[in-house]
Amino acid sequence: MLVVMDAAATAEQIETVVRHIERLGLRAHPIPGAHRTAIGVTGSQALKDPLVVENFPGVKEVIQVTQPYKLVSREAKPDNTVVSVGGVDVGGNGVIVVGGPCAVESLDQTRTIAEAIKRSGGQLFRGGAYKPRTSPYSFQGLGEPGLEILARVGDEFDLPIVTEAIDHQSLQLVDQYADCIQIGARNMQNFALLKSAGRARKPVLLKRGMSATLEELLLSAEYIMSEGNYNVILCERGVRTFSDHTRNTLDLSVVPAIKRKSHLPILVDPSHGTGKRNKVLPMSRAAIAVGADGVLIEVHHKPEEALSDGPQAILPEAFEQLVREVEAIAQVLGRTLQPALAAR
């Protein structure tokens, strides 16, 4: 259910509707838009008396949201959501490039790569301190010391940090140290973790599960938003198919499909999407061409020594070219490359 307010509705009128909804034991989510505010109504019971709300001052109409996801849908918010990650806008007219290693391995490694990301025009820095690995014997990440390295390096180069949380404990720490909480493909349907992310302060980057449908991805985003965190960025990272020439099959057609159904920004990760260094640049071009709000790229200065995902990491020089080409393609589409934060 969505209560659409008049363009001229006052803050007080909006507040009165919110209080009414909450008195009924439901949750009200005011969604300010470019032209009007809508109030999403969630809860396990439907609003029994929509006509009563329709007669409140300032209310334009009450509409039933037809999709299973509510707050995520374009019906709830016709204009695109722009999420600020440490001061960098994601989802506006400017596209972004997130770069960094798969895993934080040391201060030196992280600094070297961050310096290259900044110099090349990347806006955000990525790197895992908690790594969900297929084998328990593989490198699991540095944990909190890794977050300390990320925070220090992010500060040094004015690069906001995106890093993964894998459980409740790491989520609290990532919320403190980083600028954006990544929920990885393996946890896309960890509903308890999604709810915790929904109560966190920082924006959330939600990656598509390895075999998740578009609807399942959007419902996972709905879990986060239904808890009150409206700053969600989606990420396509490939799904598992019978094709074995790449690690996953990067499903770029999901980008325009999501743009129709949802107002949330969407990034594309061609690194995990292909698993192969030589496919990262062409698929990045394609991702921007198809309407993604940016790309997420694994970069390593010594990929042969990387503790995880070396075969898909591109070199810093290749990253620089990638940023240039992303900018050129964005311009063809009437978009720009989002400026990076200026050094303080």
Query: What residues make contact with ligand PEP under the rule CB under 6 A?
Result: 102, 128, 164, 184-186, 207, 237, 272
**Candidate ranges 40-48, 236-244, 307-315, 329-337; the one touching Mn ion (CB under 5 A):** 307-315
* Minimum CB–partner distance for residue 184 and ligand PEP (Å): 3
Q: Which residues pair with 63 in a beta bridge?
A: 2
| Site residue total, Mn ion (CB under 5 A) | 2
Residue 237 binds which entry of Mn ion, ligand PEP, none, CB below 5-8 Å type-dependent: ligand PEP
Contact pattern from residue 262 through residue 301 relative to Mn ion, giving x for each residue in contact according to CB under 5 A and a dash for the rest: ----------------------------------------
* CA distance from start to end of the chain: 45
Nearer to Mn ion, 231 or 248 (CB): 248
Spatial separation of the C-alpha atoms in residues 329 and 336, rounded to whole Å: 9
Nearer to ligand PEP, 10 or 106 (CB): 106
Q: Which of 102, 185, 204, 292 lies at the binding interface for Mn ion (CB under 5 A)?
A: 102
Using the rule CB under 5 A, is 105 a contact of Mn ion? no
Using the rule CB under 5 A, is 309 a contact of Mn ion? yes
Using the rule CB under 5 A, is 235 a contact of Mn ion? no
Contacts 24+ apart (CB under 8 A), 239-246: 239/208, 239/210, 239/211, 239/212, 240/210, 240/211, 246/273, 246/274, 246/275, 246/276, 246/279
* Minimum CB–partner distance for residue 313 and Mn ion (Å): 8
